[in-house]
C-alpha cells in the first residue's frame, strides 16, 4: 500500500481525479488495517488532489472528507475531524445531498461531541439526523439514529425521553 500511495503521486499526476479516488481507497484500506496515520496521509493527499481541480465532483470531495473525518476522530484529533466534517456538511447542504448522507454526517459529528462529553452540542445534530432518517426507508439507520439520540439524552439525565427512543428502536 505504501508503494501504491507513492506511485499514485508520480504516475497519476496528470489525472488528479483518478489519483484522488485511488488514494481514498488506499486510505480506507489503511484504516481497516488499523494504520490510522497512513490512512490520514493518504486521505489528505486525496483531498489535496481534489483541491487542485476547481470543478472536482462535490460527491467525491464529500466522500473523502467523511472518511478523513472518521480517521482524524479515531486518531483523537477531534478539532481537525470537526473542521473536515464541517466542510462535508457545508457541501452537502449547498448541493442538496440525499437525506441519508446528511444524517450520516450529522451522526459522525455528534459522536465526536459525545466523546468529548459535549452532549448539549450533540443533541440538536442528532435530532436533525433523526428527522432526516424518519423520511428514509432504512430501518437499520433509523434505529441507529434513535439509539444515538437516546444515548445522548441519557447522558443529560433525560431518562424518560431516552427510554422512549430506545423502545421505538427495538422493533426495528
**pLDDT band of 10, cuts 50, 70, 90:** confident
Q: What percent of the chain has pLDDT over 90?
A: 86
Record the cell numbers describing residue 134, joined without a space.
Answer: 424518519
Average pLDDT rounded to a whole number, residues 1-26? 84
pLDDT at 167: 96
DSSP class of residue 97 equals: -
Query: What does the buried/exposed string (b/e) look like for 11-43 if buried means 16 or more CB atoms within 10 Å of the residue's CB?
Result: ebeeebbebbbbbbbbbbebbeeebbebbbbbb
Burial of 157 (0-12, 13-18, 19+ CB in 10 A): exposed
Picking from 131, 110, 120, the residue whose alpha carbon sits closest to that of residue 158 is 120
pLDDT at 172: 78
pLDDT digits 0-9 by tens, 132-164: 999 877 899 999 999 999 999 999 999 999 999
Span of 9-13, 44-48, 131-135 with lowest mean pLDDT: 9-13
Residue 1 scores a pLDDT above 80: no
pLDDT at 135: 84
Question: Where is pLDDT greater, at 119 or 10?
Answer: 119
With helix as H, strand as E and coil as C, how does 6-27 read? HHHHHHCCCCHHHHHHHHHHHH
**pLDDT band of 87, cuts 50, 70, 90:** very high
Average pLDDT rounded to a whole number, residues 13-23? 90
Amino acid at each position: 500500500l505504501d508503494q501504491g500511495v507513492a506511485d499514485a503521486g508520480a504516475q497519476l499526476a496528470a489525472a488528479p481525479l483518478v489519483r484522488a479516488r485511488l488514494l481514498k481507497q488506499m486510505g480506507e484500506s489503511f484504516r481497516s488495517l488499523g494504520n490510522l496515520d497512513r490512512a490520514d496521509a493518504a486521505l489528505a493527499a486525496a483531498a489535496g488532489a481534489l483541491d487542485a481541480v476547481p470543478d472536482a465532483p462535490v460527491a467525491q470531495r464529500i466522500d473523502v472528507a467523511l472518511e478523513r473525518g472518521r480517521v482524524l476522530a479515531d486518531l483523537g484529533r477531534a478539532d481537525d475531524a470537526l473542521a473536515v466534517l464541517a466542510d462535508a456538511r457545508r457541501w452537502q447542504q449547498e448541493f442538496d445531498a440525499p437525506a441519508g448522507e446528511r444524517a450520516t454526517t450529522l451522526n459522525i459529528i455528534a459522536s465526536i461531541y459525545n466523546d468529548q462529553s459535549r452532549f448539549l452540542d450533540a443533541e440538536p445534530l442528532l435530532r436533525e439526523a433523526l428527522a432526516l432518517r424518519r423520511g428514509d426507508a432504512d430501518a437499520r439507520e433509523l434505529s441507529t439514529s434513535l439509539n444515538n439520540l437516546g444515548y445522548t439524552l441519557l447522558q443529560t439525565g433525560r431518562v424518560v425521553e431516552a427510554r422512549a427512543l430506545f423502545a421505538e428502536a427495538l422493533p426495528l
